[in-house]
Amino acid sequence: MTVLVRDLRPDVPADAEGFARVRRLALPYILFTPDSVRHTAAHVHPAARFRPLVAEEDGEIIGTAQVHLIHDSPEPGQGALNIYVRPDQTGRGAGRLLARVAEEYLAELGATRLLAWALDEPANRAFAERHGYRPGRSAHFLRLDLAHGTLPPLPETPSGVELRTAADFAADPRPLFELDAETVLDEPGDVDTEFTDYDAWVEEVWHHPLLNRELTVVVCADGRPVAFTVAYTDGGTRYSTAMTGTVRAHRGRGLAKLAKIHSLRRARAAGLTEAFTGNDTGNGPMIAINKRLGYAFCAREVRYIRALD
Ligand SMILES: CC(C)(COP(=O)(O)OP(=O)(O)OC[C@H]1O[C@@H](n2cnc3c(N)ncnc32)[C@H](O)[C@@H]1OP(=O)(O)O)[C@@H](O)C(=O)NCCC(=O)NCCS
């Protein structure tokens, strides 16, 4: 019984299913389905040199890694390795092997700074620190019980403001790309991100299989999108927020909250029972919004960083 690490074969159904299953068990706050695993493997920008790995024992996938260059950061030479092992299969060497293969691959690609998310649990922190990683920023996962919780009442929509959904932009999603690109610049984190390639965004983000366009709410002011919240659903009863943003000139007017409340109410009306979201622990405005919506903290993760010689 030996653990081995190999590349994911996204087109083999058992592989995509095994990958998604491990992620759901290890990281239940982020939605994964076999389709989303296949989509990511096929459509991440080629410059990312994306390499999904699996750890296998007796033909069963027990660990996963997403390994890639952070190509959409203005700072070159950064690599990401996000490793998750099935909670009942830790301590068998899968994480260590996945980390080794991922680090070697990223070093070959010329990465000089490695970043890895780890759930804030003593064993994970010790693992990262033993491997030469130092803690960076942290983020929260939050959960809202849509089936039994209460949502705040719908605030009044300010005059000159209109609510649409992403489905209304199906013929031309470019304004949503521009909104996404503008707001992601201000998202706090250890890595700056910028979206510059519209075609790549369409392929990776707009055609993402978990994107629910009807539940993705876009706030327009004078006809122009100025705030939005992006909804993912997994085909079952779970909902999660993939991004929320408001352009600078319209911040502090309650527009992000307005978008999220409408999206959550529609999600509940559509029969979804559980909503997840996440934010950097230093993102004051987003934390304020999520608290008002009734989200409760459910886990914390830490970004670990290692400089390569
Ligand atoms: C976070 C963001 C979406 C908020 O958009 P917005 O339209 O200004 O938000 P709203 O006006 O609906 O609500 C802001 C809330 O934050 C509060 N707030 C503002 N600045 C704050 C601060 N520094 N610390 C704590 N709370 C703050 C406001 O009082 C308000 O809460 P309240 O209604 O309880 O008073 C916007 O700042 C943004 O686009 N940031 C960059 C992208 C980002 O970080 N997205 C989140 C990714 S998880």
Helix (H) or strand (E) holding 60: strand 60-69
Q: Give 142 Cα–ligand 1 centroid separation in angstroms.
A: 16
Q: What confidence score (pLDDT) does residue 224 get?
A: 96
User: What are the angstrom distances between the C-alpha of 230 and each of 91, 117, 240?
Assistant: 37, 22, 8
Instruction: Specify the DSSP class assigned to residue 211.
Output: B
In degrees, to the nearest 5, what angle opens at C-alpha 252 toward C-alphas 249 and 253?
A: 90
Of 212, 63, 241, 211, nearest to 141 by C-alpha is 241
For residue 209, give both structure tokens. 């299989």
Per-residue confidence in pLDDT tens, the chain, 309 aa: 699 999 999 999 999 999 999 999 999 999 999 999 999 999 999 999 999 999 999 999 999 999 999 998 989 999 999 999 999 999 999 999 999 999 999 999 999 999 999 999 999 999 999 999 999 999 999 999 999 989 999 999 999 999 999 999 999 999 999 999 999 999 999 999 899 899 999 999 999 999 999 999 999 999 999 999 999 999 999 999 999 999 999 999 999 999 999 999 999 999 999 999 999 999 999 999 999 999 999 999 999 999 997
* Cα torsion angle, 143, 147, 152, 154, sign: positive
For residue 98, give both structure tokens. 């996945």
Which amino acid residue places its CA nearest to atom 24 of ligand 1? 284
Query: Which pTM does this prediction carry?
Result: 0.95
In degrees, to the nearest 5, what angle opens at C-alpha 92 toward C-alphas 90 and 95?
A: 65
- Please indicate whether residue 152, judged by its CB atom, sits closer than 6 Å to ligand 1: no
In angstroms, the CA 199 to CA 234 distance is 25
- Please indicate whether residue 291, judged by its CB atom, sits closer than 6 Å to ligand 1: no
**Ligand 1 pocket test target in 246, 276, 277, 292 with most atoms within 8 Å of CB:** 246
Q: Give me the residue label for tokens 């927020």.
A: 241
- Please indicate whether residue 227, judged by its CB atom, sits closer than 6 Å to ligand 1: yes
Q: Contact 101/53 with Cβ under 8 angstroms?
A: yes
Domains of the chain: 3-111 (3.40.630.30), 144-300 (3.40.630.30)
- Please indicate whether residue 283, judged by its CB atom, sits closer than 6 Å to ligand 1: yes
Of 39, 41, 22, 38, nearest to 30 by C-alpha is 22
For residue 256, give both structure tokens. 């992000």
Of 34, 78, 28, nearest to 301 by C-alpha is 28
Closest atom of ligand 1 to 285 CA is 16
Q: Contact 25/62 with Cβ under 8 angstroms?
A: no
